[in-house]
Structure formats: structure tokens, C-alpha cells
Structure 1
Amino acid sequence: MNWLSRALLLAVFLLIQGCSVLPTTPPDTANVAGSLNGTWEFLPSGSAEMPANNARWQRIRVPGNWSAQGFDHHGIGWYRLNFHAEVAPETLSTLHFGGVDYFADVWLNGQKLGAHEGYFQTFSFDVTPHLKAGQNTLLVRVNSPLEKPEDFSLRKRLIKGIFAHHDTRPGGAWSERGQEKNTGGIWGEVRLQQSAPVQLQPQQVQVQAVKGLEQWRVKVDLDVLGKLPAGAQLQWSVEPVGFAEEGVCNTPLQCPRRGVLHTPSSNISITHPKLWNPKGYGDPNLYTLTVSAVHNGKVLDSFQRSIAFRKVERSSQGIWKVNHQRILLKGTNYIAHQWLSEMKTDDFRRDIQLMQDAHINTVRVHAHITAPEFYRLCDETGLMVWQDFPLQWGYQDTAEFHQQAVSQVGDMIRQFGHHPSIIHWTLHNEPPWDADWMKWKYKDYDPQQNKRLDDKLYQTAKALDNTRPITAISATKEHPWLGWYSGHWLDYAKPTKLHTIAEFGAQALPDRFTLAKILGEEPELPTSKADWKLWEYHNFQRKETLEIAKVPQGKTLEQFISNTQHYQAQLTQLAAESYRRQAYQPVGSLFQFMLVENWPSMNWAVVDFWRKPKPAYYALQRAYQPVLPSLAWNKVNYAAGEPVTVGAWALNDSLAHLPNAQYRLTLWQGRQQRDTQSWSFELAPDSHRHLRDYTVPVQQPGKYRLAAEITDAQGKVISRNEYRFTIQSQ
């Protein structure tokens, strides 16, 4: 076909469609985005009144939480910035905030623009009537108050989740110091966006499977600020990121990835896209959705969203499928940092690498919403996200609070719902109506508190998003905490009836060097109540460690550190392996608590605040191997003459198929090999099999190590595991 025929075909196509497609070379755009990040003036103040002319302003970095910059402050803080702007005729100007904790009131050149509540949302103001050509003054009153004593901790007012009340906050959850080191401030970017004469503001972008995995609908809902000129169009394109799609646009009549939105709220049909898959199950293929306001070949304004095509299902038995592939969710709980402004792209990338190196395929962002950059990186790396709304324990049951919570749930779904990595929403962690332990803690405990609230939140979320599973709560029963708050760590060897294990774990101290950095002094084993107070402020739980877990304190600090780390590691591995052996019968997901310490503390993390792994990190890494020779046992100390029997299991969470695999067991006493056995078996994809029981053939007292490995037909080791136990003397 020659060029003239192609041109005629294109003309006929456009006539039929009544629209034009995006030009192959985008024209110049009138959009200008100006960053207002940098050094601002700051006035920590208890007054809501405008600062006096003689106020003594200090310097502060934006974006940045104020506590992270040395301002030990809560309540009201004033921010001021003088900046220069250009204002061309017919220019629309909007002021955008990436995140302010918690209340924000904003003035430009003395004119109040409006107010906002909530720490995680982006928000903006039309400043066109108030922006001057030349110098401008931006004033922001930020209020991040403490909860009132009568409300804290059962009837909170602020929707901040773990940033207001949690075990891992400075001071912990229940001490009178638990609200210290406030998270307030302008922690997200601030920018001025200018374009003429129209701006596009996306409200929600949602990708939904229509028929199987072949036909999809992209729902676009946007606001148009200003007025589109006559003849202007809202043109869209969906372009692959980092890969090519063969045969999609061989001719203009076969170009389903471009078109025109006839209304600001429209559906786009996409057929046969490449799918987004979790790591290990295919490629996390991403597309860029671009919507542009175009007039006479000129782009007046545009926006982009990274989207993908994937289908998530969760059965009534708690079993997960992504793109019809059954997947056991092997996860961790994650709180990156107490002050979100401190987490940069490379910091999140490092944490995601830590997760994936430990074979974690899903991360629960625990009772908060983290910085947007994290979700972008999860999209790119194929890491699935179990996303919590920032409600932790008890809140007010007033009409005002219910309304605010419902509004913010909508904000979360609209702002983050386009991320394919987010596979699940959970709306409230351990609400009072599901937390029976609260009746022992609070004299005025109401067993129905927040039940209506959570029902409202669930109905709101379901109405906004039917593309992923949603649960109203993360239930207390899904947080077994055996060997820490109740029971014994060996209880993890027993069968569970739970589909979802949303939290399990134990605390461990970091090494001595890290402990010195945390405490600000050379650490010593605590000997007084004052010594323990300092440790407890940094989240250490003495009662649980010494009385419930019964971790031996030892005679030296080094012994205590080693004992806590050993306890955390053995509990973590036992629990993770036990739950994996119960995959789909009934366990569909398991989440260790937690990955990293989010401030200089000593808590449940398997990686310290400075990202040095503890032994439990490597225990989790071993237990989460996609292919694992799992060893089933329920004790580590045996009496003389007591039989030692271990179940040999082959677990395979991957798609690999090894028809001629080998399973080998080797019993060691010190450096002496006591026994070895091996046999052939078929390792099928997505399988979890009990192969046989192994009875230890020796009874001599001593310490033993049972090593297990799986090899392929060529003898290459696929994975290793071990079990250590002791046979006591008479």
C-alpha cells in the first residue's frame, strides 16, 4: 500500500470515528509546573492567629516533617514562602500540595484559599484570581495536635493510624509519652502549575476486566478547570512501558490504544493487553495512560497515570488468584519511617529489594498510607501490596468523625486505586468491636464501638472499587501472636483454622553498636526501673520478653541480645514454615510482623532502623524460599530415649516443575555425619506435599542438626533448610 492509499484510509477512518488520534510527535505544551520546594520560613506557635510583623521566623525544609528537622513541636506551625511567578494572559494557575499532616489552612497574598484535613492526600487550590506577576507570599497554617487526654487512646479524632497511636511510635502505644515526636508538617512536595486556558485534574482512574483476561475497561474520571476552546478534544493514549506490542497499530483501523474522550468521565476499551504479574509469575507489564486537552494541534494541558491490566480474586475461603493463577501470599508488615519526608526513592527501592531478597511477594502497609513513590516502585517490581486505611484501634463515634472517615476512604481509593500492585484494601485494624482484650483495659469499653463506622467505610469502598477484594477490618483473631502476647512459640506447630494470618512475630534487640546509636550512650544491661524506662520508650517490651516469651536475660548484654535474636529467629521460621505447609488448607496469606524498625527503636522488626538485618531476617528468607524442603517438628529439646520424628515436606510456591527432583536428609552431630537418606520425587508447580516421616536413628545425648535439600535431575541444589535440636542426657 503506497503513502496516498494510507492517507486516504486514515481520512476515512477519522471521518467514521468523528475524531482524531494523538499525533506521533507531541506538539509543544503550554503547561508549566514550578516547584516550590526548598527552604521556607517556619514559626512553631500555639496561636491560630496570624503571626505578628515582628515574629521570629526560623528556616525549615519543604518537604519535611518538622520533628525530623529538630522541631520538637505539636499543634500549630506557620509556614511562609515568598516566591516569584509569571502570569501570562488567560493562564490558569493551581497550587498543589503532595501531603500535609494534619490540618492545613492556606493563604496567598492575604486571600484565604481554603482548608484541608488529612495527612496522606494530595490537594490543590485554584489561585488564578490571587496570583500576581512578580512577588507572591504563600502562608500555610499547619495544625498537627495531640489527641485530647480524654479521647486518647480509645476515642481518637485524627485519622493517622500508626502515626498517632501504635506500639512502634516513640513512647509506644500506652505510655503517657506515646504522642511525642509529632509527625506534623508539609511532608509532600508543593508546586505551582500553570497552563492556558484549561487544566485537567484526574479524579479516578480504574482498570477493570470485562471478559476473561482479554477485554478490559479503563474508567477515566477527571475535572476540567477553565473552558475547553471550541473544537478542542480530550485525546487519550495507552502506551506500553519498556516493551513493544506487536501487531497493535499496523494500520489506523487497527489502533485500539488511542482515541478521544467525549466526556470528562468516560470508559476506554482495551483488548489483549500484556498483563501485570507479580514477580515470579510473569512480567509486571505497565502502560502509561495519557489524557491531553488538544486544540489545533497544540496540547493545552495533559496528565499521565501508570496503569496495568491484572485481575485479582479472593475466594470465600481466603484463597488468592492473580490472573487466574493461585498464589499463596507470603508477606510482611511494613512501616517505612515515622516521618515520611525522610524516605526517598532509593530508600524505598532498598526496602523493596530487602523484601524480594527474602522471597516476600506481598507487603502489608500496616495501618497507614505511605508515600506515593513506594507504590510506583511496587508496580514496577511486581511486589503486591495489601493496603490498610489509617485506622488503628478506637475512634469517636460521632457523625462528624464518621463523615470525615468516609471522605478520606474515598480519597485513598481515588488517589491510589490505579496502582496494579495494590491488590487489597483493609479499612480498620483491630477496631474496638472486634477487640475483646479492650474490656480488660478500658472501664467504659463498648463492645459495639465503631461497628457502624466500619460498615459505612466498607459500603463506601465497595461502591468506589469493585476491581479488588476489600475487607472491613483486620481482625484480632488473625493476629495470633503466639509466644509473645499469649501461648508458647511452639504452638505455631499446631494446625490453624485461619485463612489469613495478618500478623505474627516477636521482638529482638539489634546488635550492640546499633543499640548505642538508639540510646545515645554506651549500652548496658538494665538494672534499674529508670534503665528499663529508656528501653521501653524505644518500644522494648520487658514483660512480654521475660515473662511470656521467657527469653533468658543472661549475665551480659551480649548474651541478652543473642538470646532475643535467637528467639525471634526460631519463632519466625517455625511459624512461617508451619503456615506454608497449611497452604490453601486453610491458609491463603501470612504476614510476618514486621520488616524494618521505623525509627531508632528496638521492636518486632527483622531489620533494624539503619537496615542491618537481624538473624530472623535470614530465618524468614529461608522459610519463604519458593521451593522449600520444609521440616515439620514441634519441639527442640528431647528427653533421653524419646523418639525424634520429623516430617519431610516439599513446598513449591513457584511455577517450576521438576519431574525428577531429589530430596536429601543428612543428620549431623557437630562435624560428624550420623545418617543420610535421599529419594526421588516429582515436584509439581504450586504444590505442598508431605513426602514421609524421618525418625532419627540415634539416641546419644547432644546437639544435632538435620539438614535438608532439594536438587534437580542434574544434582543442582534448588534450596536448603535445617532443623536443630538437642537430646538431653539422663
Structure 2
Amino acid sequence: MIGKMDLDGTWELHPVAEFSSLWWSEEAPDEGWVQQEMPGQWQELDSFSRYAGKMVYRRNFSFVPEKDRIYRLAIGGVFYKYRVYLNNYALGGREGYFCPTTFNITPYLRAENQLILEVESPGKNADGTTPPVLTGIFADHPNFPEGFNPGGLWRPVCILSSGSAYIERWHLRTEELDGDEAVLKLQTEVYAARELELMVQLQLTPNNFDGQSFRQEFVLKLEKGTNPLQKSFRLQGIRPWQTWDRGRPYLYRTTLTLKAADQTWDEKECRFGIRTFTFDNFIPCLNGRRLLVKGSNYLPSALYLSKVGPEDYQAEIALLQKSHQNMVRCYQHLEKAEFYQAMDEAGILVWQDFPIPAGYSFTNLTGILQQVEEMFNLLSNHPSVAIWALSNHSGYEGEQSGRLGIDFRQQVKKLAQHLNELDPSRPVIPLSGWRPGQAVADTGFNLQYPEEIFKFNQYRRGFRQRYIRFVSWFGRTALGSAEPDAEARARSQRQQAETLRFYIDRLRFHKYKPTGGMLFFCFRALTPGLSWSVVDEWGEPRDSFATVVLCYRPVYVFALLPQEQYRIGTLFQTPICFSNDRAQEAQTAVLVKARLTDPRGQLVWKEQWELKPKPDEETRILGEVSVMLMVKGTYRLNLSWVDQGETIENLYQITAG
């Protein structure tokens, strides 16, 4: 009895100064309408390339409703808020671009129908300020071009049909995990059009492996309206979901079905992974074992999310895995459902930001709480989603926000408390990266250039080490393809690479003592201009990408240069460090060689070590270079090692003069 009718395809759009009943009446003007294929965003059209404000959307369709069925209009997502009308009946509205919503349209359907949406996505105010909208990075962020506006129906629209009851929402989470045994908890809300009794069936079937299936069944007596259900149950013989660098991301095709009289009235499906994720003093623990997080801040793949497809996500996943990343931070935005599905399948963790801007004015706390709940409803069944963060102040945002007001902090903490009550299975960070002096969360560092970057070392000593427990923002800007001078562009990207290596070396040195993770800014660019990214706007790696590939390797040998330039006659000393993130018990020996040559190419120091790596060990110091720099010019410290048959090199340059 379940069914679906897509309402994507060609819609009509008309910009308006104000909404009125005129647009959903017979007197609506015929001129001025523009057609667009949905899902879509209006600035994709040349005629609206700089438009921001109000837009009326219209679609006519035929339909033949059947008896004893419930029909719902499902709107997947609209930038930024809207009201919807079917055949002149007001169904309701929603604020929040990522919030999927359904409306019961059973009483209003006819053979011929007209659907109207009043959509508003405001631009800047007359005084140049940004309106109070929860669109995160899409609202006046420097990564987006001037005049950008994401307005439109960016997610699918359809009609869903079911029997006399349907699933409003459902959540499945792992409460306990011990080897191949787990306790899962199901929470769901079922709407019934009348009093009735039905069977609820939960089925878990291996999706990407051969293994055991599981089924749970419950008889549910329903009253008219919304009926909650909570059930916990123990499963034996499960396979836990892992990140790709730790094992396999085992997924179960999980279906929740409502059945009555041998008929399926409604069904929901997801790919579920059984796993636990916790923080121990900001050291991540996946399935009870420590995990060093290495990743990046993730910006949208394109200016207009409506046109991003699964193939785009797969191309990015290939680069993420090539560069040994096991987490991305969905930076100041929520992505499409296909993104999270791809991360589930790839075994890449997601740190999920809520898109509340710094210093936001809480004039409608109830509405914001509703959007927090919608984020949870949308993403809670994805095993890749590991961390919630409410307000991001780690990098650019930290510079803009200055000192946060007490009221803002208190309101954000209320949001975090509410989210934690909804989802006790994930860490919730209220104020991410806010002020390095406040060691209550992760931190971000915007020290980019040689004259300032070594100030970071003050956070590596004494009590200040708590500020590098989890560094969620670091990096450097570099010129993009818009720069016509190829030499300047290459030099800029080399400097960006050196900054990334500077931070990664020091954070890996402090692995678990106290550092639990690092996320550089950022993975991909949106425009060809100046940016922090290591992948350009076309999805092609920049020069700095190779440095991430090197520095995020599971087995990595590096040096900690105490400064960038030295005087002639200075005693140069630096430790040679070995980091191993592989968790397997049995690992092959690693041969490490170190050579220092002077500006004339003469060898002035060398050493080698043969190591037996320990599983996921803390970083160890192999030895120390100690050489007097007596020749003006560039010394070269070459570190090489053989890892699983591959020879790797890490080259440092030391300038004396």
C-alpha cells in the first residue's frame, strides 16, 4: 500500500516583492513566469543570477487518490523558508533550509491540482548586515562570491502514500557494544488515522558483506494521532562499523515496516552501522579503542548543492582516502542525504556543525530548537556522523565574533543540552573553537605566516597543552587558478604546504599526549581565487595536497625544526620522530634513514633505525640531529623509510646565513 509520486521536473517561478493570495488564485498573471527543472536554485538561471528575496513556485499535476490511504506532500528542503498551498488550501510552512517536511494532503487532493510555494531567501539588509537566517556558510562567507544567494527548492518534492498509519520519524542507536554483541535502541513515532493494532518489524540485513541477519517484531496498539514506541534489544554475532583505515565499514540494510492484515502500510529504510563513538578528554574512541583523527574542514562541493550528485561525492572520497583522512568536518552547513550515505559506505567520520552564525540574535529560540531537532531527525541513523557542534568559532568565525556575549553563550548551551537529551550517543560541543584561552572545547589556530607561526609552540608546553587536545582549524591561504602568474601561484601553494606540515608535525608529535585529532582548513575550494583549500574548484589536487598525503600517512617520520632560519655558527638540533597509527597487532619492521647535507651537497650527518611498530602507538623520538651550521645557504634534511614495500621521503630545508 506504500507508494511515491515524484513532483520534480519543470516548475514555474515568479519573483515578487510581497506574497499575496493573488499568486494562488485564478487572477494570477500569466506573464513573468520562468521555468526551471527541480531540484534547483534560482541563481542557476541567468535571469536570477543576482537575485535574493521572495519567489513564488508553481506546479500543476494530475492525481487519482484511492480510498483508505493517507497521502502526504514531502518537501525535502527549501532555502530558506516557505509556505505551501495546495488547491488554495494553506498547508503550513517551515523555516530552515535542510529541514524535510511532510504535510497530510489527503483531504485536499483532486484529479487536477495546483501546488504553490512561497519561498523566501533574503539577501543582505540595506545597511549591509546579514539577516538572521540559519544558513551557516551560505550567508555572506568569504568562500562564496559577492551577491551569492542559495534560494530555491534544492531537494526533491514528492507525494507519499501509506495505509491508515505511517512512520513519522525513527531513530536507531547503539547503546552498548562488546565485541560481536550489541544492545540497540529503537525510538519511533507512528501516526494513526484511527484506533488500530499493527505489527512493527525491524529487519537488519548485511548490506556490504555476507553475514547474519536480525529481525525484531513488536505488536503496537495505536490511538488516533501520534504514538511513541521505544524498544531496546540485544544482538549477538554483529559486525561493528569501522573507519576505512581501521577495518571495514560494515553496514546493515535496515528497514522499519508497519504491517496490518499482511499488508505493508509504511516502510522506512537506511544503511545502519553498529558502532560507538566517545571522547575521553577529547581523545576520540571508536568502538572502545583510541583513534587519532586526521581530516579536514569540508565545504560544499559546488556553489549550488542541488546539482551535486553521488559521483561528485565519490570523487572527493577517493581524494580523502588517498590523503589518509578518516574524518571531515561538515563546516558550517548540512549536506545532502547522499553525502552522509557516501561517508557511511566509505568509513569516514563526520563532525557535523549546526549552521548558527557567530553572535546570532536569539529572537526565536523555539524555532532554533526545532531546527536542532530536525538536524537530529535527519542524520541520527548515519554511523558516520560522530560529533555535533552547535556554534563554530574555530577560524574565520573566531576572528569575526570577538568576545561572545553571555546571552549568546547561554542560549547555545541550551541548544546543546537539548541536543544531548535527544542524542546521548554522540559528543555535543556547544561553542567549538571559541577563544584559545578557554579550554572547554576544541581549538583553532589562525597563525599562518613565518613571522607568527612559531607562536604556536607556546601551546605545546605545560598547562597550555590542553589547548591542543583537538585542533579543528589550521592552515594557510594560497593563490588559486585565477592567479595568472604561474610562478607566484606555485610559490604560494608551497608556502601553504609548509604551514600544513608545520602544524601536522607538531600535533602528531603530541599524539594522545594530549592530541586526539586535527582538522585542517580546508579540503576543497569553491572559487578560483585566494583560498585555504588543497583541492581546487574543479576537484583537482593543488600542490599542497601532496603534503597532506605525506603528513597524514599512517606511518610517518618527521622532524621538529625549532625555527625557519639560522645564523652561521648556530648549533642546529632537532628530534627525529616516528608516528604509527596502524592498529594491527602484527606489523612489518620499518627501516628509517636520515641524512643531512650542507649547501655544497656534502653529507654532514646520517643515522638509521630499524623499528618494530607497536599498534597505534604514541609518537616516539628515534634520535636527534646535532650539527653546527658553518656554511651559508640551504641545508637539506632527508628522512626516508620503507613502509609496506613503498619508499617514502620527507625533505626539510634549513636556511643558514
Q: 471, 475, 492: which is aligned to 1:505?
A: 475
**Shift in Å at residue 403 of structure 1?**
1.6
Describe the superposition over 1:300-338 as per-residue Cα deviations: whole angstroms up to 9, x where unpaired.
2211122121111101x2111101110111110011133
What amino acid sits opposite 1:415 in the alignment? L
**Shift in Å at residue 298 of structure 1?**
2.4
User: For residues 639 and 219 of structure 2, what CA distance do their matches in structure 1 show?
Assistant: 59
What amino acid sits opposite 2:155 in the alignment? G
Q: Do structure 1's residue 57 and structure 2's residue 33 form an aligned pair?
A: yes
Query: Which residue of structure 1 aligns with residue 631 of structure 2?
Result: 700
Task: Sort the Cα spacing of 1:224 and 1:447 in 2 relative to 1 into closer, same or farther, 3 A.
Answer: closer
8 Å contact kept, 2:177–2:287: no
User: For residues 296 and 436 of structure 1, what CA distance do their matches in structure 2 show?
Assistant: 61
Q: 145, 153, 161: which is aligned to 2:122?
A: 145
Task: Sort the Cα spacing of 1:386 and 1:136 in 2 relative to 1 into closer, same or farther, 3 A.
Answer: same
Identify unmatched segments of 5+ residues in structure 2. Answer: 222-227, 437-442
SS at match of 1:427: strand
Query: Which residue of structure 1 aligns with residue 432 of structure 2?
Result: 474
SS at match of 1:44: strand
Q: 197, 204, 222: which is aligned to 2:189?
A: 222
What amino acid sits opposite 1:91 in the alignment? R
User: For residues 673 and 90 of structure 1, what CA distance do their matches in structure 2 show?
Assistant: 88
Query: Which residue of structure 2 aligns with residue 14 of structure 1?
Result: none
Q: How does 1:83-162 map to 2 (within 5 A)?
A: 83-133=61-111, 135-149=112-126, 152-153=129-130, 156-162=131-137
8 Å contact kept, 1:257–1:270: no
Q: Do structure 1's residue 605 and structure 2's residue 605 form an aligned pair?
A: no
Q: How does 1:24-35 map to 2 (within 5 A)?
A: 30-35=1-6
Q: 332, 352, 355: which is aligned to 2:296?
A: 332
What amino acid sits opposite 2:149 in the alignment? N
Q: How does 1:391-540 map to 2 (within 5 A)?
A: 391-398=356-363, 400=364, 402-430=365-393, 438=401, 447-476=405-434, 477=436, 478-483=443-448, 488-492=452-456, 495-496=459-460, 497=465, 498=467, 499-510=469-480, 514-515=481-482
User: For residues 446 and 202 of structure 1, what CA distance do their matches in structure 2 show?
Assistant: 35
Query: Which residue of structure 1 aligns with residue 225 of structure 2?
Result: none
8 Å contact kept, 1:631–1:722: no
Q: Do structure 1's residue 38 and structure 2's residue 9 form an aligned pair?
A: yes
What amino acid sits opposite 1:61 in the alignment? E
**Shift in Å at residue 472 of structure 1?**
0.5
**Shift in Å at residue 229 of structure 1?**
5.5
Task: Sort the Cα spacing of 1:261 and 1:184 in 2 relative to 1 into closer, same or farther, 3 A.
Answer: farther
**Shift in Å at residue 203 of structure 1?**
4.1
8 Å contact kept, 2:391–2:430: yes
8 Å contact kept, 2:180–2:239: no
Task: Sort the Cα spacing of 1:719 and 1:591 in 2 relative to 1 into closer, same or farther, 3 A.
Answer: same
Q: Do structure 1's residue 306 and structure 2's residue 271 form an aligned pair?
A: yes
Describe the superposition over 1:406-438 as per-residue Cα deviations: whole angstroms up to 9, x where unpaired.
111111112111111111100011299x96875
User: For residues 123 and 344 of structure 1, what CA distance do their matches in structure 2 show?
Assistant: 22
Range 62-71 or range 589-598, more displaced = 62-71
User: For residues 61 and 320 of structure 2, what CA distance do their matches in structure 1 show?
Assistant: 42
Task: Sort the Cα spacing of 1:46 and 1:671 in 2 relative to 1 into closer, same or farther, 3 A.
Answer: farther
Q: How does 1:571-586 map to 2 (within 5 A)?
A: 571-586=499-514
Task: Sort the Cα spacing of 1:217 and 1:695 in 2 relative to 1 into closer, same or farther, 3 A.
Answer: same
CA RMSD, 1 decimal: 2.5
Query: Which residue of structure 1 aligns with residue 262 of structure 2?
Result: 297
User: For residues 613 and 424 of structure 1, what CA distance do their matches in structure 2 show?
Assistant: 27
8 Å contact kept, 2:609–2:622: no
Q: Do structure 1's residue 723 and structure 2's residue 652 form an aligned pair?
A: yes
What amino acid sits opposite 1:330 in the alignment? K
What amino acid sits opposite 2:390 in the alignment? L
Task: Sort the Cα spacing of 1:136 and 1:487 in 2 relative to 1 into closer, same or farther, 3 A.
Answer: farther
What amino acid sits opposite 1:127 in the alignment? I
| Structure number, greater radius of gyration | 1
**Shift in Å at residue 124 of structure 1?**
1.0
Query: Which residue of structure 2 aligns with residue 21 of structure 1?
Result: none
Describe the superposition over 1:502-539 as per-residue Cα deviations: whole angstroms up to 9, x where unpaired.
100111012xxx31xxxxxxx66xxxxxxxxxxxxxxx
Query: Which residue of structure 2 aligns with residue 239 of structure 1?
Result: 205
Task: Sort the Cα spacing of 1:326 and 1:618 in 2 relative to 1 into closer, same or farther, 3 A.
Answer: same
Task: Sort the Cα spacing of 1:242 and 1:446 in 2 relative to 1 into closer, same or farther, 3 A.
Answer: closer
User: For residues 213 and 128 of structure 1, what CA distance do their matches in structure 2 show?
Assistant: 45
Where is the strand percentage greater, Structure 1 or Structure 2?
2
Range 232-241 or range 105-114, more displaced = 232-241
What amino acid sits opposite 2:509 in the alignment? R
Q: Do structure 1's residue 690 and structure 2's residue 625 form an aligned pair?
A: no
Describe the superposition over 1:163-196 as per-residue Cα deviations: whole angstroms up to 9, x where unpaired.
113232223xxxxxxxx21111000011111233
Query: Which residue of structure 2 aligns with residue 200 of structure 1?
Result: 167
**Shift in Å at residue 720 of structure 1?**
3.1
Aligned-residue sequence identity (percent) comes to 26
**Shift in Å at residue 277 of structure 1?**
0.7
SS at match of 1:683: coil
Count of residues in correspondence between the two structures? 625
8 Å contact kept, 2:283–2:470: no
Query: Which residue of structure 1 aligns with residue 595 of structure 2?
Result: 666
What amino acid sits opposite 1:208 in the alignment? E
What amino acid sits opposite 1:90 in the alignment? D
User: For residues 529 and 144 of structure 2, what CA distance do their matches in structure 1 show?
Assistant: 9
SS at match of 2:41: coil
User: For residues 602 and 275 of structure 2, what CA distance do their matches in structure 1 show?
Assistant: 50
User: For residues 615 and 261 of structure 1, what CA distance do their matches in structure 2 show?
Assistant: 59
What amino acid sits opposite 1:308 in the alignment? G
TM-score, normalised via structure 1 length: 0.81
Query: Which residue of structure 2 aligns with residue 520 of structure 1?
Result: none
Q: Do structure 1's residue 375 and structure 2's residue 304 form an aligned pair?
A: no
**Shift in Å at residue 146 of structure 1?**
2.5
User: For residues 626 and 448 of structure 1, what CA distance do their matches in structure 2 show?
Assistant: 42
**Shift in Å at residue 698 of structure 1?**
6.7
**Shift in Å at residue 217 of structure 1?**
1.8
What amino acid sits opposite 1:429 in the alignment? N
**Shift in Å at residue 379 of structure 1?**
0.6
Query: Which residue of structure 2 aligns with residue 349 of structure 1?
Result: 314
SS at match of 2:40: coil
SS at match of 2:56: strand
User: For residues 219 and 318 of structure 2, what CA distance do their matches in structure 1 show?
Assistant: 39
User: For residues 507 and 234 of structure 2, what CA distance do their matches in structure 1 show?
Assistant: 39
Describe the superposition over 1:529-581 as per-residue Cα deviations: whole angstroms up to 9, x where unpaired.
xxxxxxxxxxxxxxxxxxxxxxxxxxxx3343233212111101111111111
User: For residues 589 and 123 of structure 2, what CA distance do their matches in structure 1 show?
Assistant: 62
What amino acid sits opposite 2:16 in the alignment? S
